[in-house]
Structure 1
Amino acid sequence: MMRSSIKKLAMAAGIVLAAALPAKAQGEPPIRIGVPLPLTGGLAGAGTQLLWGIQYAAGEVNAQGGLLGRKLELIVEDTKGESNTSATVAAKLGGQDKVDAVVGGFGSTSDFALLSAIQRYNTIFIHPGSSSVRLEESFGKNPWYFHVYIWDYHRQKAAVNFFKSVPGLKTVAIAYEDKLYGTDGSKFTQKFAKEAGLDVVMNEPFRAGSPDFSPILNRVKALDPDVLFVIGYSGDNLQIARQAQQLAIKPKLLVTQGAGEKRSDYGAAGDGVVVLDLWSSKQKTPGLAEWVRKADAARGGEVVSTAVQGYAAMQTLIDAAKAAGKWDRDAIIAKLAGSEFSTPYGKVKYEPSDLGGLHQLITEKTMIAVQYQANDGFEVVWPAEKAAAPLRYPAR
C-alpha cells in the first residue's frame, strides 16, 4: 500500500502534464528515466526533495511538448536507503524496465549497491546525491557516470576554509555518521583541519537515526570547542540541534552539512546554526531570482538546495539530449561531457575530479555557508563575495 502511494504521488506531475503534450508526442514511445531514491526510511527527507527537483525539470520539458518530440516518463522506485533494496531496484530498472537513463541515488552506502548492480547495463547515470569517494574511485572512470553533488573532500575543504575564516576559531569537535558518508567526511575534515593548524578535540561516530545524542552533546559541553561540526543526514542534524536546545548545551558554533532540511524544520533550535551547502535562493546568480519565484510557486513553498541538485541533474540530461538532436546514448554522453550548462548554480560543466572521476559538476568553489538566524531568517555568511550578512559568532 505504501509503495503504491509513493509511486502515485511521484508520478502525479508527469501524468497531469502528459495531457498537455501534442498528439505527435503522445503517439511516440516515451523516453523512460529511472529515478531510484530513498522515499521512506531515514533518508526520505532528502530523497523526496531530490524527487521534486527531478519531477519539476521533467514537467517543464513535458509542458513544452516533450523532449525530442517524446514524453519524458519517470519510473520512480523507492530504495529505502537500503543496500539490498537498492540492488533489487537497479536490476528492475536496467533489466525489466530497460530505462533509457537513470537520474537518482542518495545515500552513499546504498548507492554503492545500486551502482554495483546497474553498471552491467552501461546506462547513462546522472547522480545528484552521495559524496563518498569510494563511489568516485569505483565508478567515476566510467564514461556513462556523471556526478552532480560534491565529493567528500570538496565539502570538507569548504568546511575547513570556512572555519579558518572565523577569527579566533581554533578547536573543532566532530560528530559523524558511522558509515561511508560520515566516515569519509570525518577523515577528510581531520586531514584538512590538521593542514590548517586547527585542533580536532573530538571525533565521535553515531548511528544514523539515533534517537539520543546526549552522550555526544555532554562531551561537547565538557570540551567546549569553538565549533561542533556534524556530518550527518537530515534527521541527525535536526535531532542534534533540538537535543542541544533541550539540554541547554550551547556550542559556540554548530555547523552541519546540508542534507535536505529547511530552516522551518529546526524552529527555535536552529537559531545560530550554520549550514554548509551548495546553493541558496539568496545567492547572487544571474536569472536566479526569477527561477526561484517560479519554482517556489510550483512547489507551494521554499525550494531548498537538495531539490536543486535533482533539478540540475535532470536539466543537464535534458539539455544534452536537445544538443545531441536525438536520443542516442553515445551522442548524449558526448554532449554531457563537453557542454556548459546554465543552472540555478550558475554556468557549470562536468569536469574531471581530484581522484580520477571523469565527470564532476560541483566542487568546493560553489559552496556557501548559511546561518539560520532568529525570526525564521537565514543569511549567506560565507564566502565574503557571496555573503549578505556577517556571521554571528559565538552564535549561542
Structure 2
Amino acid sequence: MLAGLVVAALIVTGAWPLAAQGDKPIRIGFGMALTGGLAANGKAALLAMQIWAKDVNDKGGLLGRPVELVHYDDQTKPANVPAIYTKLIEVDQVDFVVSGYGTNLIVPALPVVMERELVFMGLFGLAANEKFNYPYYFGIAPIGPKPRTDWSRGFFDIAKTHKLKTIAMIGADAEFARNAQSGARENAKAYGLNIVYDKTYPPGTADFSPVVRAIKALNPDILCVASYPPGSVGITRAAHEVGLEPQLFGGGMVGLQYAAFLTKLGPMLNGIVNYDFWVPEPTLKFPGVDAFLTKYQAQAESVGVDPLGHYLPPWAYANLQVLQQAIEATKSIDQKMVGDYIRNNEFDTIVGKVRFGDNGEWNTTRTLMVQYQNIADSEVKQFFGPGKRIVLYPEDWKSGELIFPYAEAKP
C-alpha cells in the first residue's frame, strides 16, 4: 500500500551514540506532508520537531533513553495516511504516534490509532475528534472545547461590539473549511446576524472576481471567509480589484500567517481581521518561545521553510513537549498511563500553559483574532517583530486597538 510514497529517512536527532545508552530509543512516529499542497507547512513542522528531539537528547533523553523520530511523507494525501500509521505501529514498532499537520490528515489516522488504543497528539486539527470522541486524542491548537464555534467566536465578538447586522460567508468545499464555515454559521445565528450570502467554492478555484462581485452587490456589513492559502490570496486580491469594502473582513483565512503570503499580499492585508495562534506581540512572550524561534530561524533558510516560524512551528514543538512531560511525570511509556496524565494535568510549553478538556481540545479558547495594520511594503523583515499583527481577542492577550471600519485601515 505504500508503493510510490516518498519515504523519509529515519531520524536520530542529536549526536548521542546509541550503543552507549544501554536502552533502546523511545521512538515517535508520524506522517507528515513533505510534498503536495501542504509541504511548506509540513517541512516547517518537521524542523520544529527535530529541534525538540535534539533539545531533549542534548539534555539526556527521555527516561535516560534517546529519542528517535520516524516519519514518512504522506504527500498531503489523506488516502496515504492509514497505511503509514499501520506501518509505523506494526512494522516500525514505534512507542508513540503523533499526527501530521492539519485536519484532513489527522482524521484518517484516528481509526488506526483508536483500534490499538494509543495516545494520539493532533497538530492543528479543527474538530478532528468530533466524530470519534476518542479519549486519548489531544489537539495542540488553542481553539477551545467547542472547536467549530470557538474557532470564529472572537470574530463575531468584534462584530457584536460594533453592532453589525448582515454577513456574507464564503468557504472552500473541503473538510477544514466546511467545519469552520459551519461554526461561523452557528455563531452568526447566535449573534442575531442576517446571513445574506452563504456558499462554498471548489478548492481549485482560480478566479474569485465573480464571487466577490456577487457579495459586493449585497453590501454586507461583514465578510467571513474560511479558506485555504490559494483562496485566501485570491479573495484578498479580488476584494481589492472590485472595491469590496465590508466593515469587517476576514475570519478563518489560512495562509495569511506565513511569510510567503504576508509578502505576496503586503499592504493589501491592512484592515483584515483574521485568526492566528501566535504572533510576536509583547502579550504573547511565553517562556522559551524566543529561544526556540532563534534556533528555528537560524535553520529555516537552509531547509527552505517559512523564515518567520510564528504560526505552526512553535505548536509542533509544544505538541511534543506535552508528550515529553507526561512521559517524564509517569516515568512510563504505557499508553494508558501517559494518556490519563495528559487528560488530567496542565503543561508548561513554549506556547503557554496547556490543559485539555474531555474531548481532547483545549479546555478554554485562545484562538487569536489579529488585525493586519501598518504594512508598508512586501519586505519580510517587518513581520519578525511586533506592530503588524495586532491582537484584538481574547482580551487577556490584547495588544492594540481595532482600526474600524475595514476601509480605514486599507492603503
Which TM bucket (shorter chain)?
A: 0.7 to 0.9
Shifted more, 88-97 versus 105-114: the winner is 105-114
Cα 1:245/1:77, change in 2 over 3 Å: farther
Question: Which residues of 2 match residues 5-84 of structure 1 at below 5 A?
Answer: 7=8, 15=12, 17-20=13-16, 24-25=20-21, 27-84=22-79
Question: Which residues of 2 match residues 154-193 of structure 1 at below 5 A?
Answer: 154-165=150-161, 167-193=162-188
**Shift of the alpha carbon at 1:265?**
4.9
Task: Compute the TM-score of the two structures, normalised by the length of structure 2.
Answer: 0.82
CA contact (8 A) 2:48 2:296 kept: no
CA contact (8 A) 2:14 2:53 kept: no
Choose from 402, 405, 410 the match for 1:394: 405
2-structure distance, mates of 1:52, 1:200: 42
CA contact (8 A) 1:90 1:115 kept: no
Q: Which residue of 2 aligns with 1:277?
A: 276
Number of equivalent positions: 376
Choose from 224, 234, 242 the match for 2:229: 234
Matching residue's letter, 2:281:
K
Q: Which residue of 2 aligns with 1:103?
A: 98
Q: Which residue of 2 aligns with 1:139?
A: 132
Q: Which residue of 2 aligns with 1:214?
A: 209
State the secondary structure of the residue aligned to 2:76: coil
Task: Compute the TM-score of the two structures, normalised by the length of structure 1.
Answer: 0.85
Choose from 140, 154, 160 the match for 1:148: 140
2-structure distance, mates of 1:322, 1:346: 19
Q: Which residue of 1 aligns with 2:300?
A: none
CA contact (8 A) 1:77 1:89 kept: yes
Higher helix share: 1
Q: Percent identity?
A: 28
CA contact (8 A) 2:283 2:398 kept: no
Aligned-pair RMSD on alpha carbons?
2.6
State the secondary structure of the residue aligned to 1:311: helix
State the secondary structure of the residue aligned to 1:204: strand
2-structure distance, mates of 1:184, 1:49: 24
1:318 partnered with 2:324: yes
Q: Which residue of 1 aligns with 2:355?
A: 349
CA contact (8 A) 1:21 1:63 kept: no
Post-superposition, which runs of at least 4 consecutive aligned residues in structure 1 deviate over 6 A? none
State the secondary structure of the residue aligned to 1:139: coil
CA contact (8 A) 1:380 1:389 kept: yes
CA contact (8 A) 1:21 1:66 kept: no
Question: Which residues of 2 match residues 193-208 of structure 1 at below 5 A?
Answer: 193-208=188-203
Matching residue's letter, 2:129:
E
Return 5+ residue gaps in structure 1 as ranges. none
State the secondary structure of the residue aligned to 2:131: helix
1:331 partnered with 2:323: no
